[in-house]
Amino acid sequence: MNINKKICLVTGASSGIGYAIAKSLHAEDYCIVATARRNNRLKQLNIEDILTGDLCNYDFQDSILNYIISKYGRCDYLFNCAGTIEAGSIEEIDIDKVTSMLRLNIEATFRLIYKFMKLYKEQGSGHIINISSVLGTKVRATAGAYSATKFAIEALSEALRMELTGTNIKVTCIEPGLVMTELHNDWPVHPKESMNIKEPLNVEDIVETVKFILKQPVHVRIPKLMILPKDHNI
């Protein structure tokens, strides 16, 4: 039934950007495999394929890939939306939380990309879309650790782009500024206050960016696409 649909894996699909991408592309008749840890939130997507687990567990990553291959035989899009943020000066930041962030934002994401590259090479096509950040292109005080994780994904993606020259495999980093999601829920002061951003981006802005990227013809590459709210001034 889904053989003519585009197959998409969306990580971080239980909230925020990942949830919005999964919901919107499902409505546009893409076939979505959605994953995150919170099963109750994934269920709200009301889609067939939800896989609940921790992306830092590599057996779980294998099971995601095996599920997709055995059910659909291929995957067209990997949306790397799972991510977390830790802020603080290098000297005061909670180093254990930073380590967890490094494991998810870099190690788990890198490993999934690595696995998908093997699949994409076999099928001769595919697209990796990483939700990076404006902080993957510049650094701010107290954002060094988070920036480092996004710089890492940018570096990996740029090398991949070069290694994939002439193939039908694409890689894109979307680099948003502040988006209203649950990412900063436990911050004592929300960045929209500290950065004086009156109108942050919303998840629909990111979905529109994704749709723009997806509608490009086969010969077009969009390696990076930055999207900022109008009050972003650094």
Ligand X SMILES: NC(=O)c1ccc[n+]([C@@H]2O[C@H](COP(=O)([O-])OP(=O)(O)OC[C@H]3O[C@@H](n4cnc5c(N)ncnc54)[C@H](OP(=O)(O)O)[C@@H]3O)[C@@H](O)[C@H]2O)c1
Q: State in angstroms the smallest separation of the CB of 206 from ligand X.
A: 8
The region of 21-29, 65-73, 113-121, 174-182 touching ligand X under the rule CB under 6 A is 174-182
Distances from the Cα of 225 to the Cα of 49, 70, 114, 130, angstroms: 29, 33, 22, 10
User: Among residues 2 and 56, whose Cβ is nearest to ligand X?
Assistant: 56
User: Nearest-CA neighbor of 80 among 115, 131, 42?
Assistant: 131
| Of the residues 7, 8, 9, 17, which one makes contact with ligand X according to CB under 6 A | 17
Distances from the Cα of 234 to the Cα of 125, 134, 137, 141, angstroms: 37, 10, 12, 12
Near ligand X in 26-45, by CB under 6 A:
36-38, 41
Number of residues counted as binding ligand X (CB under 6 A): 28
Q: What is the C-alpha to C-alpha distance for residues 33 and 36, in angstroms, rounded to an integer? A: 10
- Based on the shown chain and the rule CB under 6 A, indicate whether residue 226 belongs to the binding site for ligand X: no
Strand order in the sheet with 49-52: 49-52, 31-36, 7-11, 77-80, 126-131, 169-176, 224-227
CB 224 within 8 A of CB 156: no
| Of the residues 182, 199, 204, 208, which one makes contact with ligand X according to CB under 6 A | 182
- Based on the shown chain and the rule CB under 6 A, indicate whether residue 65 belongs to the binding site for ligand X: no
The region of 13-21, 157-165, 209-217, 224-232 touching ligand X under the rule CB under 6 A is 13-21
- Based on the shown chain and the rule CB under 6 A, indicate whether residue 16 belongs to the binding site for ligand X: yes
Near ligand X in 119-158, by CB under 6 A:
131, 133
User: Among residues 54 and 158, whose Cβ is nearest to ligand X?
Assistant: 54
Give the H or E element holding residue 49: strand 49-52
Total residues found in the chain within this entry: 234
Name the residues that contact ligand X, by CB under 6 A: 12-18, 36-38, 41, 54-56, 81-85, 104, 131, 133, 176, 178-179, 181-183
